[in-house]
Amino acid sequence: MNQTLRINGERLWSRLEEIGQIGATAGGGCNRQALTDEDQAGRALFAGWCEAAGCTLRTDAIGNVFARREGTDPSLPPVITGSHLDTQPSGGKYDGIYGVLAGLEVIESLNEAGVQTRHPLEVVVWTNEEGCRFDTAMMGSAVWSGTMSLDDAYALTDRNGASVHDELIRTAQLGEAPAKAGAIHAAFELHIEQGPVLEAEALEIGVVTGVQHMSRHRVIFYGQEAHAGPTPMTLRKDPMMALGQCLPRLYAMAEEHGPDSRITFGFVHASPGSSNTVPGKLEFTVDIRHPEASHYQAMLDSYETIIQEAAKDFGLEMEFECFWEAPGVTFDADCIDAVQESVNALGYSHRRMVSGAGHDACNVAKVAPTSMIFIPCKDGLSHNEKEAILAEHATAGANILLNAMAARAEVIA
Ligand SMILES: [Zn+2]
């Protein structure tokens, strides 16, 4: 493609503001949790815009909404883009919403430019990405990609006992289309970064090449409770000493794996929790992440060695387990190239990066060639009413989405 297309940044921004009024919170954010009245109202607003743009809409059995712009060859698999319209209870106005409305903006911009594509285009609203009201994040895309069964999703309940199935019916979001991926030619998700890297480097676009490998571990050291006064330091079985040996070694180990490694100790609990008793039991969690599989695996191996050595050195019994793991995702090379070529053509400042958070695109990537685009957000904040982006970054990201989708969907000359 030798022409660069442009979206209408003012229209995109005004729609972000308009949909942000639904479930608006006093702190300037949004509370539009999945399958609430507010979510239904947000989806209805979106659907109205899509119909006015000439799209045909379909909803599947888990409430995912697909707005389709036909290609010149309707038999070809679509190029899709999607994200979510639901928010956290005290969420922002852009996490997810931006990617959905930018997808609609792609369609409107092609309509106005009179540009046809061989492949159809679809904009998807994935149901319950946030996983706060119903405790499974990325639920709609998980069902669609075959990662989660429809029945398991239907059976999830909120704190008041309302099930996903009941709430799909109540909010008129239970569609007839099967919640199952068909053939997809290419998929993109445009999202705010939710981290501080692009802003810190004053860059406009993140060309996202994958999602990092991540896992969470629980370690318990068993020592011996003893009086803090009479018990000499050398005669203790003190699990806190073992932790004291582990922490600098684990931080140093993470550092050896470069700037992309992450290690976090978010929970530490000593029992019995008395200031003048040597703890008999110490429990802590370790969150380990790395974008590259070889480094990630090496970090896991080193972590085990380090904690086992500490237990041995201090004569402690121990237990450890991995209680959560999400394998990393490497995005599709052609989709990444389509984003990179759009960035080059439009001249935006950019870098390649991996996502630190999970997204619907992780599920989509299991069944379709997929990649993501990031724009900066203020102070890296997200899942926060203060979440903020600049209008020019919103425009830049949507321009990249437009050109990447148009390229993969094959513009008719
Ligand atoms: Zn999101």
Tell me the per-residue pLDDT of 97-107, one tens digit each, with 9 for 90 and over.
Answer: 999 999 999 99
* Structural domains of the chain in order of their starting residue, each with its CATH number: 9-211+328-409 (3.40.630.10), 213-326 (3.30.70.360)
Q: How far is CA 129 from CA 126, 197, 325, in A?
A: 6, 23, 18
pLDDT above 50 (res 341)? yes
- Three-class SS state of 73: coil
- Buried b / exposed e over 99-135, threshold 16 CB at 10 Å, is bbbbbbbbbbbbeeeebbbebbbbbbbbbbbbbbbbe
Tell me the backbone φ, ψ of residue 17, rounded to 5 degrees.
Answer: -65, -40
Average pLDDT for 351-369:
95
What is the rounded distance in angstroms from the CA atom of residue 32 to the CA atom of residue 39?
5
pLDDT at residue 389 tops 50 = yes
Residue 189 Cα to ligand 1 midpoint, Å, equals 10
Contact 220, 320 (CB under 8 A): yes
> Which pair of tokens denotes residue 398?
């949507």
> How many Å lie between the centroid of ligand 1 and the Cα of residue 259?
24
pLDDT greater than 50 at residue 1 = no
Q: Ligand 1 centre from 215 Cα, in Å? A: 20
121 CB-near residues (< 8 Å, 6+ apart): 68, 69, 71, 78, 79, 80, 81, 106, 107, 110, 405, 409
Q: What is the DSSP letter of 218?
A: E
| C-alpha closest to that of 32 among 404, 385, 354 | 385
Pairing of strands 121-125, 79-83: parallel
CA of 349 to the centre of ligand 1 (A): 23
* Statement: residue 2 has pLDDT above 80: no
What's residue 325's pLDDT?
87
pLDDT at res. 30 = 97
pLDDT average, residue stretch 85-93: 96
The proportion of the chain whose per-residue pLDDT surpasses 90, expressed as a percent, equals 95
In this predicted structure, the answer to whether residue 340 has a pLDDT above a threshold of 60 is yes
Distance 101 CA to ligand 1 centre (A): 13
| pLDDT value of residue 315 | 96
pTM listed for this prediction:
0.87
pLDDT the model gives residue 324? 85
**For ion ligand 1, residues whose CB falls within 5 Å:** 95-96
Q: What is the CA(83)–ligand 1 centre distance, in A?
A: 7
Local confidence band at 327 (pLDDT 50, 70, 90 cut-offs): confident
Ligand 1 centroid–CA 381 distance in Å is 12
Q: Sort 3 into a burial class: Cβ within 10 Å, 0-12 / 13-18 / 19+.
A: exposed
Q: Rounded to the nearest whole angstrom, what is the distance from the C-alpha of residue 190 to the centroid of ligand 1? A: 10
Q: Average pLDDT of 203-215?
A: 96
Query: Is the per-residue pLDDT at 234 higher than 50?
Result: yes
Q: Where are the beta strands (DSSP E) in 2-158?
A: 56-59, 65-69, 79-83, 121-125
CA of 344 to the centre of ligand 1 (A): 26
Strands 65-69 and 79-83: unpaired
Q: What pLDDT score does 186 carry? A: 98
Cα 110 to middle of ligand 1, angstroms: 25
* Ligand 1 geometric centre to CA of 129 (Å): 7
How many angstroms does the Cα of residue 140 sit away from the middle of ligand 1? 13
User: Ligand 1 mean position to 268 CA, how many Å?
Assistant: 29
The Cα–Cα gap between 266 and 14 comes to 39
**What percent of the chain has a predicted confidence (pLDDT) above 70?**
99
Largest CA distance in the chain: 87
Residue 360 has pLDDT above 80, yes or no: yes
Q: What rounded mean pLDDT belongs to the chain?
A: 96
Rounded to an integer, the average pLDDT of 214-230 is 96
Cα distance between residue 377 and residue 387, in whole Å? 7
144-170 residue pLDDT tens: 999 999 999 999 999 999 999 999 999
- Distance between Cα 361 and ligand 1 center (Å): 10
